Structure formats: C-alpha cells, structure tokens
Amino acid sequence: MPTGLYTESMTDWDAGRYHRVSDPQLAWGQSVLSRLTPVAGERILDLGCGTGRLTSLIAATPGILVLGLDPSAAMLSEARRGQIPGEERDSTQAPLYIRGDGAALPFKEAFDAVFSSAAFHWIHDHERLFANIRDVLKPRGRLVAQCGGGPNLQCLYDRTDALMLEPRYARYYSTWIEPWRFYGVADTRARLTAAGFTDVDVSLVAAPTRLHDRRAFAEFVECVCLRHQLDRLPSHDRAPFVEALTERAAHDDPPFTLDYWRLNISARKGQA
C-alpha cells in the first residue's frame, strides 16, 4: 500500500499549470493559515507545500523560519522559481524547500508547528503520518492542517469510475488502485490521540467549488483531480475522457461544480 505523497512510477505534476489553476486550494489554505498564528522565532514545516503559494505567506511573518517539503520535484522547482531574487527582506525569512516524503520525515523535535493544506489525502497510512509529525514537533508543538475528507469529490469520482469501466477505457484500469484516502472525523481523531496528540479538534465541512465555465472545469479537473486516471490512458484518449466528464458536469445544478469536502485538523503534541 502506498505510504507517501508520490511514487516514482507516477508522472509528476504539471506544476506551472497547477500553480495557475489552484486558486481553490489557495483559498482553503488561507483559511487554515488563519488558524496557524505563527509568532517570531518559530520554525514551521509546510508539509506538502506544492508550488509554495502558502509557504511564502507563512514566511511573511517576521522572524519565522519556514521549510517547505514536497515529494514532487516539479512542484519544488515551481516554488523556487516563484522566489524573487534580491527582495528587500531579511534573507533568513525566505522559505527553504526540500524534497521529501511526508510519511518518512527526516527530523526530530525540530519544529514548533507543522502546517499542511490539501496534502494528507495523498498519504494512505495516517497512523504513520501522524507518528512522523509527532516526532518532528517540539513538546506542545502544534499541528494545523486541512485535507480532503469524507465524501470528498464523490460525485466526480463515481462518474469517473463508471467511465473507466466503459469498453473503450476498461483495459487501462484493470489494476487501478485509488491513490488517495479521504478519511473521516472519528477515525482521524482516534489516530491523532493514539499518536500522542492532545487538544485534538477535527471537523468536516462541505466546500462546493464552482468553476467559471466548461473550459475552466475541464482544465481544472484534468490538472488537479484526474491526473492519475489520465496518466494511464494513451494521449489520444485523454481529451475525450475529460470531455465526457465535463459534459456531465454541464447538466448539474449549478453546473461545473465540484463536490469538495474539507477535513480540518488541529492538535498539539503532548509533553515528553
């Protein structure tokens, strides 16, 4: 069973495109960031930092050291590209970026907080994930995160599963395993408690996200939601696959709306 955020057999993200279309992820992440409340002198790990849009916002707090970690080389390249050389700011505030696996973190009691947005659902083994986060936090260090949870994108993925079974596509999905895990409130709370966290607060909220039009919907789901399914198809079958799902979404009320659900997580590491 996959444990981390990425496997080498998988085509890497189109990070530049993701950076351009990921405004919904940015908006969700900003709401999570409002719960982080960093203070000067803290060290913060952004786990699954992607293209660094939120990492840079965290680093804007004076006196903060921020490390962005992501398994995707393409995402990290885009994050570093977004840093502006010669900015008039203390160079120690600029985020640092490293490639790594969220389920195998190479640190020990190094951070005051771990922040994460839209990343944990790519890790199957949350017992291992939360144990790793506990180990990298200082005593009473905090975890502030959000990811997909519960029935996240169930409508889209039910339609996708049905399409994958059609004769034109079925042979490409004979060994298909979903690369995400959308866990719920009770199991997440139990895993955090078992990992040694206290002050555990977990909630699940609906976040329906409407894309502007047919073109925006197709581009978004192709880049963000269907990357793994499309990776299995020959190039000439990818556009018809996306178009079939886009056509179904056009008849929804409201049209071109993705049924996102967000799992909010807050907790503190217990005293040693």
DSSP, residue by residue, 199-221: EEEEEEEE--EE-SSHHHHHHHI
Percent of the chain clearing pLDDT 70 (strictly above) = 92
C-alpha to C-alpha distance for 79 and 116, rounded to whole angstroms:
15
- Whether residue 89 is predicted with pLDDT greater than 70 in this model: the reply is no
In a domain, 170, yes or no: no
The answer to whether residues 75 and 51 touch, using CB atoms and an 8 Å cutoff, is: yes
State both tokens at 194.
């078992």
In a domain, 81, yes or no: yes
In sequence order, what E strands does 156-271 have?
Answer: 197-206, 209-210, 257-258, 261-269
Question: What is the number of domains present in the chain?
Answer: 1
> Whole domain around residue 83: which residue ranges?
15-150+180-209+260-269
In a domain, 228, yes or no: no
pTM for this prediction: 0.91
Q: What is the pLDDT of residues 17-64, one digit of tens each?
A: 999 999 999 999 999 999 999 999 999 999 999 999 999 999 999 999
C-alpha to C-alpha distance for 180 and 149, rounded to whole angstroms:
10
Q: Report the chain's mean pLDDT, rounded to a whole number.
A: 92
Instruction: Count other Cβ atoms within 10 Å, centred on residue 21.
Output: 18
In a domain, 164, yes or no: no
CATH number of the domain residue 141 falls in = 3.40.50.150
In a domain, 72, yes or no: yes
In a domain, 162, yes or no: no
In a domain, 190, yes or no: yes
Question: Which residue reads 């203070």 in tokens?
Answer: 39
In a domain, 92, yes or no: yes
Percent of the chain clearing pLDDT 90 (strictly above) = 87
The answer to whether residues 182 and 149 touch, using CB atoms and an 8 Å cutoff, is: yes
